[in-house]
């Protein structure tokens, strides 16, 4: 399957874009499942850094990576797979923005086929309940997302929750045009993986569906082994001191706004650190979402 393919006698209400590499395409099952249901499916070619002839916007993909920025923002360099994945997501978001689609779906090719009825219900809810000018992403799978305890909506088999901080997963999601346009303008140069550019993540609204509408399949990863944190463990108190005093800001100022910098570092050094320091990751929802969502109480941290 290449390009956009249509199945069924009537036009689908939204497009599902499936990302994957040509040399290791894993999306045949999910694409066939969606097409049989009459949805419009578009395959988005992944960016393969192992192919020396591959170009992105006329340049080698590695040229779009801010290596110093990655070491500062994510504390390490990116693997070739992470670079290619981020650029593939950007390619899908560009397509959605250029075509002016109000809502669209992006899936990586190693996901389980979603229940089409649940996916259609979710997109329909988004169209009627989410303002057009509010950049919004709804994750179909969330890895340990920290959520507000009260759900936003109950939709058939899934409940929609609002996150407190940007989540860490881009396996599958629904996004509106405002989010696509914001991401397109803020992704390059890369200063991290495909999991939401920190330059604009704080300006977006993230929701998650639980139980997940898709899950990762047990297939070989194309991301590669991630290098370890380039900041040693003993330096964490220093990081918090630098956050409070703002002394890190001069290194960030060429890469993001002060608000984005504070949001990123506060999330990393305060919220997620407190979450990982012995709090129970129990969920108010059934334990069908691995790993579970984590309810958060404003002003008091996690709520068991």
- Cα separation, 174 vs 107, in Å, equals 9
Rounded-to-integer distance, Cα 141 and Cα 192, Å: 20
* Domains recognised in the chain with CATH numbers: 4-218 (3.90.550)
**Tokens 């591959």, located at residue:** 54
Residues of the chain with pLDDT under 70: 1-12, 220-231, 272-304
Q: Hey, what are 173's tokens?
A: 């999601």
| HSE of 59, CA atoms in CB hemisphere, 13 A | 9
d(CA 65, CA 265): 21
Looking at residue 234, its pLDDT comes to 76
With a CB cutoff of 8 Å and minimum separation 6, the contacts of 36 are 7
Residue 65: predicted pLDDT: 96
pLDDT for position 228? 58
Beta-strand pair 301-302/158-162: unpaired
Tokens 């499936």 found at: 18
Per-residue pLDDT at 266: 81
pLDDT of residue 273: 61
Q: Output the pLDDT for position 81.
A: 92
Q: Is residue 77 a contact partner of residue 67, using CB atoms and an 8 Å limit?
A: yes
Specify whether the CB–CB gap between 48 and 83 falls below 8 A.
no
Q: For residue 56, what are the contacts with CB-CB under 8 A and spacing of at least 6? A: 47, 64, 87
Residue of 26, 14, 38, 193 whose CA lies nearest to 106: 14
Q: How far apart are alpha carbons 45 and 40 in whole angstroms?
A: 16
Its sign, for the CA torsion 5, 8, 14, 19, is negative
- pLDDT value of residue 229: 59
pTM: 0.85
Q: What share of the chain is helix, strand, coil (3-state, %, to 5)?
A: 35, 20, 50
């Amino acid at each position: 399957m290449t390009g956009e393919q249509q199945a069924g006698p009537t036009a689908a209400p939204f497009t599902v874009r499936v990302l994957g590499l040509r040399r290791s395409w894993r999306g045949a099952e999910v694409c066939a499942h969606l097409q049989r249901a009459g949805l419009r499916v578009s395959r988005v070619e992944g960016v393969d850094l192992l192919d020396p002839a591959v170009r992105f916007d006329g340049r080698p993909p590695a040229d779009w990576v801010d290596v110093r920025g990655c070491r500062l923002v994510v504390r390490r360099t990116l693997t070739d797979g992470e670079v290619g994945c981020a650029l593939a997501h950007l390619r899908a978001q560009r397509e959605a923005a250029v075509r002016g689609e109000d809502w669209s779906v992006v899936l990586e090719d190693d996901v389980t086929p979603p229940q089409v009825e649940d996916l259609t219900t979710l997109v329909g809810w988004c169209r009627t309940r989410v303002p057009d000018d509010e950049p919004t992403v709804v994750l179909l799978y969330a890895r340990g997302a920290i959520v507000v305890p009260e759900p936003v909506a109950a939709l058939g088999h899934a409940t929609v929750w609002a996150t407190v901080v940007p989540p860490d997963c881009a396996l599958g999601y629904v996004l509106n045009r405002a989010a696509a346009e914001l991401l397109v303008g803020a992704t390059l140069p890369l200063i991290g993986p495909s999991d939401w550019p920190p330059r604009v993540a704080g300006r977006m609204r993230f929701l998650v569906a639980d139980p997940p509408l898709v899950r990762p399949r047990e297939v070989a990863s194309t991301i590669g082994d991630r290098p370890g944190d380039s900041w040693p463990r003993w330096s964490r108190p220093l990081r918090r001191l630098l956050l409070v005093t703002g002394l890190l800001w001069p290194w960030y100022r060429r890469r993001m706004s002060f608000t984005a910098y504070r949001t990123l570092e506060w999330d990393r050094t305060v919220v997620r650190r407190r979450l990982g320091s012995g709090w129970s990751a129990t969920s108010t929802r059934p334990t069908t979402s691995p790993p579970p969502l984590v309810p958060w109480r404003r002003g008091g941290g996690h709520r068991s």
